């Protein structure tokens, strides 16, 4: 056997230096295939693990305008009905992409996802004597996603400006610690919130000094910051907070503030409109970050220094100053997410209580294709996956708890591994800018 | 560079399982070394990932060693583990410092303890919550390890009976940090107690959340949502098993605005965390402090015996705490029944099954 093709000698000068190709999104036939696979998997699940009995969907809560009784339906019937609808939607998607060369529109994918979810829940909850609370599912999903959403928004701003922020975890953790401490001392959750934002800014500043000013590899700085903050907070926790738990680690929490009328809407009312101010703020901040990045002069400049800093520099934008400003703002946003752990959720700090939410937030940035709205949505999705696991094991679904605990991470890995289509980050993200 | 981000995110997510990695062991030099002490016997203790301030498990064990050291007139050495990768190094460092007896807290340290014990036959080891029997032949794997085990199912049985009797809604809940045998033994015993109540009284009190685990021992939103989902099912007593996750349960109870009673695990929550007092119905006690103290004391007096110790209601290694503020809210007849049950379990008339007592 002889080699058929001879590689060009290593190091031989290529005629042109390889130009980095920018892909333009085209109509892809991947989406209908994914829909078909999902439909098939669900059908397979229904066949392989037949699970008879009724499922009890609880839609209401005691505060609604009108009481919705618990809906009791036969699980397998609903599940199979769902599979039929999903198959029909998949067929529509195939027709649209192959015959009409159109994207799979949202009016196919969104109902597909909803029907698929209902079918899955009907399968999982069948035969359980317990109510499957839809309100609980949604409100828990929102609660679990809050730090992820804030962290992801912070990540998006930083990366759009060209600074990779691996240290979201550090920002969340230090912010959680600081807000517990300040909240406990001042007895005010608002003071805790402000302190948390400052803590997020502090981490961002350290990241900025090394990554922007000293041009150290941004990923390495981020990783080091994560480890550093884990160490500092754990140390201070055991030396300072534990011996003085009553004075330093018992912060008042934000009360829930119901929005009149809206909170009484069945199903979503208690979940969305009876929350703490930090949750409402999340919706505002998400919209504001989107508006800021895409509709203001500031956003244009941020994106310019993230995509092509040299070009930005030539037209007179101060690249590093713009990056610093963006990074510090991102730190404040991530800091609010950290405050959630203490001044909203539990009321006290615990060692490494963020448990990796910052890394999930980083995944949400990529899953969301560096777009604030999509990243926030990705954060909600991860929160939803976590809560789904919890709700399903309460109703006693026939899924092993270990598998369910794995679910959010599996979804994250699939998402980051590029299953959602090609995602392309800002071109200059992670590259320090050096003025020539 | 965009690849870098994706790579970093992948690595970060993959590393979640090891979220606590990469940190040097936190070694305390605060406790003076053995030289200065009046006795040169050196008792040492290594924690698992919870740390000695976990208000449960590690803390109780530490207090036991501390008490023994005090009465022996000696100092102790302690090392906290931040992650599983620390175990080996921490135990080895204690051996190197000349410890006479090393207390390893938690079944996660089992393999490390056995390995170290076989390599250092002169050092005595006390392992808490594990039989140190990794080849499952029914024998401790090294002759110089004394396992301290706790059949908490017996105490949890009493708590389950009490909870079932106390519950107005006919639903009680439990959830755990992770599916370890030392966690599920509480939940199983609790369930058996509820079942027994149903049998005796002809009621049908349900236990919600028997296979509900938060996936970790952090008091965070995951644990809180888990507790909330269980409370949403209408339970009015909840038993969180696993160190600080009870704090999340407290927050969930407060947010629910309902009257839900809490059952503590390991230590008497009413005492260890005064902020919980209004909610604590009782606690399932696992008296690691007492048995650890006795074992270390014995080692210090040269009477170390490697016979496994199993804490039961009979030898008071496990128990349930007083009702404190709930005294007035619980029917005295129910309290008497629980007391009678306790006697039945002690006398062997009533069997509570668990992995320690088939």
| A338, A176 Cβ separation under 8 angstroms | yes
Residues of B in contact with A427 (CB under 8 A): 2
Are B219 and A346 a contacting pair at CB < 8 A? yes
Strands (E) located in A192-265: 257-258
- Do the domain assignments include residue A391? no
Closest C-alpha among A383, A373, A370 to residue A416: A370
Total residues belonging to chain B: 358
* Nearest CA distance, B266 vs chain A (angstrom): 18
Are A246 and B275 a contacting pair at CB < 8 A? yes
* Nearest CA distance, A166 vs chain B (angstrom): 7
| A358, A172 Cβ separation under 8 angstroms | yes
Closest Cβ opposite residue A166 in set B8, B51, B213: B8
Per-residue b or e along B176-192, where b marks 16 or more CB atoms closer than 10 Å to that residue's CB: bbbbbebbbbbbbbbbb
Q: Last residue of a domain, which of A362, A380, A398?
A: A380
DSSP A214: S
CATH of domain B22-150+290-311: 3.40.50.2300
Residue B27 is predicted with a pLDDT of: 46
The number of distinct structural domains making up chain A is 2
Closest C-alpha among B288, B233, B235, B290 to residue B263: B235
Task: Find the helix or strand (DSSP H, E) in which B280 lies.
Answer: strand B280-286
**Cα A417 from Cα B6, distance rounded (Å):** 8
- A-B CB pairs within 8 A amount to 176
**Phi and psi of B193, rounded to 5°?**
-65, -45
**Cα B341 from Cα A423, distance rounded (Å):** 63
CA A341 → CA A114, A144, A148, B240, distances in Å?
A: 30, 10, 11, 19
Strands (E) located in A309-418: none
Are A416 and B208 a contacting pair at CB < 8 A? no
Are A366 and B216 a contacting pair at CB < 8 A? no
A310 touching B (Cβ < 8 Å): no
Are A351 and B218 a contacting pair at CB < 8 A? yes
> A39: number of CA atoms within 13 Å, CB side?
22
A222 touching B (Cβ < 8 Å): yes
B78 touching A (Cβ < 8 Å): no
What DSSP string runs through A386-407? HHHHHHHHHTT-SS-HHHHHHH
B357 touching A (Cβ < 8 Å): no
Interface of A with B in 340-359 (CB under 8 A): 340-341, 345-348, 350-356, 358-359
- B222, B249, B258, best to mutate vs chain A, most A CBs in 10 Å: B222
Does residue A344 share a domain with residue A213?
A: yes
* Nearest CA distance, A393 vs chain B (angstrom): 6
Long-range contacts of A76-80 (CB under 8 A, 24+ apart): A76/A46, A76/A50, A76/A51, A76/A52, A76/A122, A76/A123, A76/A126, A78/A118, A78/A119, A78/A122, A79/A42, A79/A46, A79/A119, A79/A120, A79/A122, A79/A123, A79/A126, A80/A46, A80/A119
Are B221 and A427 a contacting pair at CB < 8 A? no
Q: Last residue of a domain, which of A380, A411, A426?
A: A380
* Nearest CA distance, A98 vs chain B (angstrom): 31
- A135, A245, A355, best to mutate vs chain B, most B CBs in 10 Å: A355
What average pLDDT does range B199-210 have in this prediction?
Answer: 92
Residue A67 is predicted with a pLDDT of: 65
> B2: number of CA atoms within 13 Å, CB side?
18
Residue B214 is predicted with a pLDDT of: 86
Closest Cβ opposite residue A355 in set B218, B251, B274: B218
Does residue A158 share a domain with residue A299?
A: yes
Closest C-alpha among B57, B101, B55, B56 to residue B78: B101
Does residue A179 share a domain with residue A78?
A: no
Residue B146 is predicted with a pLDDT of: 93
- Do the domain assignments include residue A404? no
Are A401 and B211 a contacting pair at CB < 8 A? yes
Which residues on neighbouring strands pair with residue A274, listed in sequence order? A258
pLDDT in tens, B232-246: 888 999 999 988 889
- Do the domain assignments include residue A2? no
pTM: 0.81
Interface of A with B in 122-181 (CB under 8 A): 129-131, 133, 136, 140, 143-144, 146-147, 159, 164, 166, 169
Does residue A45 share a domain with residue A87?
A: yes
Q: Would you call B85 exposed, middle or buried from its count of C-beta atoms within 10 A (0-12, 13-18, 19+)?
A: middle
Does residue A104 share a domain with residue A168?
A: no
List the end-to-end C-alpha distance of chain B, in Å, as a whole number: 59
Does residue A221 share a domain with residue A110?
A: no
Task: Find the helix or strand (DSSP H, E) in which A71 lies.
Answer: strand A71-74
A227 touching B (Cβ < 8 Å): yes
**Cα B61 from Cα B79, distance rounded (Å):** 13
* Nearest CA distance, B128 vs chain A (angstrom): 22
Closest Cβ opposite residue A130 in set B208, B218, B255: B208
**Cα A136 from Cα A270, distance rounded (Å):** 9
- Do the domain assignments include residue A426? no
CA A188 → CA A251, A267, A342, B38, B113, distances in Å?
A: 8, 32, 12, 49, 47
Interface of A with B in 50-109 (CB under 8 A): none
Strands B206-208 and B237-241, sheet pairing = unpaired
Closest Cβ opposite residue B244 in set A129, A350, A405: A350
B204 touching A (Cβ < 8 Å): no
* Nearest CA distance, A101 vs chain B (angstrom): 30
**Cα A376 from Cα B163, distance rounded (Å):** 42
Does residue A148 share a domain with residue A67?
A: no
Q: For residue A250, give the chain B residue with the closest CA.
A: B275
Q: In what order do the strands lie in the sheet with B101-105?
A: B26-27, B77-80, B43-46, B101-105, B124-128, B145-150, B309-311
- DSSP reduced 3-state for A410: helix
**Phi and psi of B264, rounded to 5°?**
-85, 160
**Cα A218 from Cα A159, distance rounded (Å):** 11
Are A136 and B6 a contacting pair at CB < 8 A? no
Are B16 and A356 a contacting pair at CB < 8 A? yes
Residues of A in contact with B80 (CB under 8 A): 238
What distance lies between CA B5 and its chain's CA centroid?
Answer: 40
Q: Does B30 score more than 50 pLDDT? A: no
Q: For residue A348, give the chain B residue with the closest CA.
A: B247
Strands A54-58 and A132-133, sheet pairing = parallel
Q: Does B11 score more than 60 pLDDT? A: no
Residues of A in contact with B216 (CB under 8 A): 355
- Do the domain assignments include residue A41? yes
Residues of A in contact with B215 (CB under 8 A): 405
Residue B355 is predicted with a pLDDT of: 83
Owner of token pair 């926030």: A376
Residues of A in contact with B187 (CB under 8 A): none
**Phi and psi of B128, rounded to 5°?**
-100, 135
- A161, A216, A252, A350, best to mutate vs chain B, most B CBs in 10 Å: A350
Residue B36 is predicted with a pLDDT of: 40
Are B213 and A256 a contacting pair at CB < 8 A? no
Interface of B with A in 250-279 (CB under 8 A): 251, 255, 274-275
Does residue A203 share a domain with residue A109?
A: no
Question: CB under 8 Å to A250, separation ≥6 — which residues?
Answer: A184, A347, A348, B275
B153-286+323-347 CATH, one of 1.10.1060.10, 3.40.50.300, 3.30.450.20, 3.40.50.2300: 3.40.50.2300
Question: CB under 8 Å to B14, separation ≥6 — which residues?
Answer: A413
Closest Cβ opposite residue A140 in set B14, B213, B229: B229
Does residue A169 share a domain with residue A214?
A: yes
* Residue ranges in chain A whose pLDDT is less than 70: 1-29, 60-67, 401, 404-405, 408, 412, 414-423
Residue A256 structural domain: 142-380
Closest Cβ opposite residue B4 in set A401, A405, A430: A430
Closest Cβ opposite residue A393 in set B16, B211, B232: B211
Does residue A308 share a domain with residue A213?
A: yes
Does residue A77 share a domain with residue A38?
A: yes
- Do the domain assignments include residue A416? no
Question: CB under 8 Å to B83, separation ≥6 — which residues?
Answer: B18, B20, B21, B22, B23, B49
CA B215 → CA A331, B179, B241, distances in Å?
A: 28, 8, 12
Q: For residue B248, give the chain A residue with the closest CA.
A: A346
User: Highest-confidence range of A304-308, A417-421, B80-84, B354-358, by mean pLDDT?
Assistant: A304-308
Q: Would you call A421 exposed, middle or buried from its count of C-beta atoms within 10 A (0-12, 13-18, 19+)?
A: exposed
**Cα B94 from Cα A90, distance rounded (Å):** 63
Does residue A153 share a domain with residue A109?
A: no
Location of each CATH 3.40.50.2300 domain in chain B? 22-150+290-311, 153-286+323-347
ipTM: 0.76
Which residues on neighbouring strands pair with residue A390, listed in sequence order? none
Are B229 and A136 a contacting pair at CB < 8 A? yes
């Amino acid at each position: 056997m002889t080699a058929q093709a001879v590689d060009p000698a290593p190091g031989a000068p290529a005629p042109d230096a390889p130009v980095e190709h920018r892909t333009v999104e085209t109509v892809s036939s991947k989406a209908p295939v994914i829909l078909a696979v999902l439909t098939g998997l669900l059908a397979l699940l229904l066949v392989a693990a037949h699970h008879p009995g009724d499922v009890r969907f609880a839609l209401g809560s005691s505060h609604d305008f009108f009481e919705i009784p618990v809906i009791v339906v036969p699980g397998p019937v609903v599940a199979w009905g769902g599979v039929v609808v999903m198959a029909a939607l998949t067929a529509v998607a195939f027709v649209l992409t192959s015959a009409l060369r159109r994207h799979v529109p949202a009016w196919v994918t969104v109902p597909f996802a909803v029907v698929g979810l209902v079918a899955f829940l009907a399968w999982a909850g069948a035969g359980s004597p317990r109510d499957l609370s839809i309100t609980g599912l949604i409100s828990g999903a929102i609660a679990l996603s809050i730090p992820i959403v804030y962290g992801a928004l912070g990540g998006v701003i930083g990366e759009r400006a060209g600074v990779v922020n691996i240290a979201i975890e550090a920002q969340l953790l230090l912010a959680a610690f600081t807000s517990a401490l300040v909240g406990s001392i001042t007895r005010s959750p608002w003071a805790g919130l402000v302190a948390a934002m400052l803590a997020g800014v502090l981490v961002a500043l350290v990241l900025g000094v090394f990554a922007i000013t000293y041009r150290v590899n941004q990923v390495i700085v981020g990783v080091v910051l994560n480890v550093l903050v884990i160490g500092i907070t754990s140390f201070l926790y055991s030396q300072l907070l534990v011996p003085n738990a009553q004075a330093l680690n018992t912060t008042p929490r934000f009360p829930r503030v119901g929005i009149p009328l809206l909170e009484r809407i069945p199903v979503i009312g208690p979940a969305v409109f009876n929350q703490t101010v930090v949750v409402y703020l999340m919706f505002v901040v998400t919209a504001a970050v989107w508006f800021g990045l895409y509709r203001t002069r500031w956003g244009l400049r941020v994106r310019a220094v993230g995509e092509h800093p040299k070009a930005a520099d030539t037209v007179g934008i101060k690249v590093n100053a713009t990056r610093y400003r963006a990074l510090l703002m991102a730190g404040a946003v991530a800091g609010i997410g950290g405050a959630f752990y203490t001044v909203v959720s539990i009321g006290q700090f615990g060692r490494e209580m963020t448990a990796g939410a910052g890394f999930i937030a980083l995944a949400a940035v990529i899953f969301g294709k560096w777009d604030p709205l999509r990243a926030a949505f990705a954060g909600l999705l991860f929160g939803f996956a976590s809560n789904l696991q919890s709700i399903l094991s309460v109703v006693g679904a026939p899924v092993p708890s270990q598998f369910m605990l794995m679910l959010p991470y599996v979804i994250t890995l699939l998402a980051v591994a590029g299953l959602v289509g090609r995602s392309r980050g800002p071109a200059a993200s992670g590259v320090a800018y050096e003025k020539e | 560079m965009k690849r870098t981000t994706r790579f970093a995110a992948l690595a970060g997510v993959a590393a979640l399982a090891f979220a606590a990695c990469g940190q040097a062991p936190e070694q305390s030099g605060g406790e003076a070394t053995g030289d200065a002490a009046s006795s040169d016997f050196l008792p040492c203790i290594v924690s698992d990932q919870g740390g000695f301030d976990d208000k449960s498990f590690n803390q109780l064990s530490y207090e036991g060693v501390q008490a023994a050291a005090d009465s022996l007139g000696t100092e102790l050495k302690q090392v906290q583990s931040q992650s599983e990768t620390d175990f080996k190094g921490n135990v080895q460092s204690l051996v190197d410092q000349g410890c006479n007896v090393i207390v390893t807290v938690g079944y996660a340290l089992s393999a490390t303890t056995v390995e170290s014990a076989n390599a250092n036959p002169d050092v005595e080891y006390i392992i808490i919550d594990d039989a140190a029997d990794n080849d499952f032949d029914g024998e401790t794997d090294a002759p110089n390890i004394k396992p301290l085990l706790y059949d908490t199912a017996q105490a949890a049985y009493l708590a389950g009976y009490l909870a079932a009797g106390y519950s107005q809604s006919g639903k009680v809940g439990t959830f755990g940090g992770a599916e370890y045998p030392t966690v599920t033994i509480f939940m199983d015993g609790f369930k058996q107690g509820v079942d027994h109540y149903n049998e005796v009284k002809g009621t049908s009190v349900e236990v919600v959340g028997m296979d509900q685990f938060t996936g970790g021992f952090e008091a965070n939103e995951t644990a809180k949502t888990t507790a909330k989902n269980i409370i949403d099912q209408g339970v009015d007593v909840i038993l969180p098993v696993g160190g600080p996750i009870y704090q999340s349960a407290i927050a969930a109870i407060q947010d629910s605005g309902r009257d839900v009673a809490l059952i503590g695990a390991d230590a008497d929550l009413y005492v260890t965390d005064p902020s919980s007092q209004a909610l604590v119905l009782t606690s399932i006690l696992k008296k690691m402090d007492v048995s650890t103290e006795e074992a270390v004391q014995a080692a210090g007096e040269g009477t170390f015996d490697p016979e496994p110790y199993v804490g039961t209601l009979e030898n008071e290694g496990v128990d349930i705490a007083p009702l404190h503020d709930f005294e007035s809210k619980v029917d005295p007849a129910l309290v008497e029944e629980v007391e009678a049950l306790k006697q039945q379990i002690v006398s062997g008339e009533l069997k509570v099954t668990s992995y320690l007592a088939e």
